[in-house]
Amino acid sequence: MASDGKRLKGLVAATFTPMTLNSEVNLPIIQQYVDYLVHKQKVKNIFVNGTTGEGMSLSVQERKRLTEEWVKHARGKMDNVVVHVGCLSLEDAKDLAAHAASCGADAISAVSPSFMKPSCPDALVMYLKEVAAAAPSLPFYYYHIPSLTGVTFRVSDLTGRMKAHIPSFRGVKFTDTNLLDFSLCIHLYKEHDFLYGVDEQLLGGLVFGAHGAVGSTYNYLGATTNTMLTAYEEGDIEKARKIQCAIQEFIAFVFAQGWGLPEFKNIMSTVSGIDLGPPRAPLISGFKPEHPEKIREEMKRLNLI
Ligand SMILES: CC(=O)N[C@@H]([C@@H](O)[C@H](O)[C@H](O)CO)[C@@H](O)CC(=O)C(=O)O
């Protein structure tokens, strides 16, 4: 899975990190997880140790072990393993980037540090340049997620600077609802990949030319979302809209329960039958024994399973 200039397209599942009840990373689950994504969801790209994977709550050592395991089991089965290496510490991020390259990952990605934040776009680009330089052979994707990092520089402004200073810069994983900014990026930087990260409005991203999408729901709604992508490509907007609306209704249902990432992990366990365990502290899950049935009912009602 070497970097051969191929573009990152289609769906990318932002993987959950399997954990034991004692909150240790549960590596033996990963082989089964990869097979599930490939065979049941028809998703052949993964984004590991990101937000959904609770990457920021893992130690550097745990992140390395997870990367090794994902890459090992994806080899020959998947098209791309993108490893998120963003950290609060530049040295840790560089260490993880070099490690991802040594393992045979296909690309790396990093968020902005979010405690000591960059004061201006150039400060962020200089930080990302050092991270990317630790794995110069791997395509680098900036991970824009302002709702969590608090770093709100417009991506359409950052992209030209990243292009100028980061030789391996390939594109952006764009997790924000600002479709003006997203659309400008695609319009101005056609040779780069812009992957959309708000699953509930992916269809909007597609209209503006998204090259692909990275998200948590593609773990268990990958096949459904692929049907939407095909409908869109074939010009069947009515069908694509119907599928997107069903996904929206499901996500709205999840949020209406007061749920979020911890419960998304439970939902993936419920749908896939793979026990991914609990989230790691400080996250806690509000999922109760009666909830799996409630989830299945709602998904059946929406024709999602
Ligand atoms: C804030 C957040 O976690 N966003 C998710 C979405 O997939 C999100 O779960 C989905 O759109 C439902 O709101 C992804 O963009 C995150 C992601 O790709 C990652 O795990 O790195």
Q: Which of 17, 52, 283 to mutate to test the pocket of ligand 1 (most atoms within 8 A of CB)?
A: 52
What pLDDT shows up at residue 2?
Answer: 32
For 255-297, write each residue's pLDDT tens digit.
999 999 999 999 999 999 999 999 999 999 999 999 999 999 9
143 in catalytic set = yes
If 0-12 CB within 10 Å is exposed, 13-18 middle and 19+ buried, where does residue 220 land? buried
Given the CA of residue 214, which atom of ligand 1 is nearest to it?
Answer: 18
If 0-12 CB within 10 Å is exposed, 13-18 middle and 19+ buried, where does residue 273 land? exposed
127 in catalytic set = no
Asked if residue 4 has pLDDT above 80, the reply is no
Output the residue whose Cα is nearest ligand 1's atom 6.
215
For 210-240, write each residue's pLDDT tens digit.
999 999 999 999 999 999 999 999 999 999 9
pTM of the model: 0.97
Asked if residue 156 has pLDDT above 50, the reply is yes
**Alpha-carbon span 34 to 43, nearest angstrom:** 9
What pLDDT shows up at residue 5?
Answer: 59
Asked if residue 3 has pLDDT above 80, the reply is no
ipTM of the complex: 0.99
Which of 33, 127, 143, 196 is the catalytic position?
Answer: 143
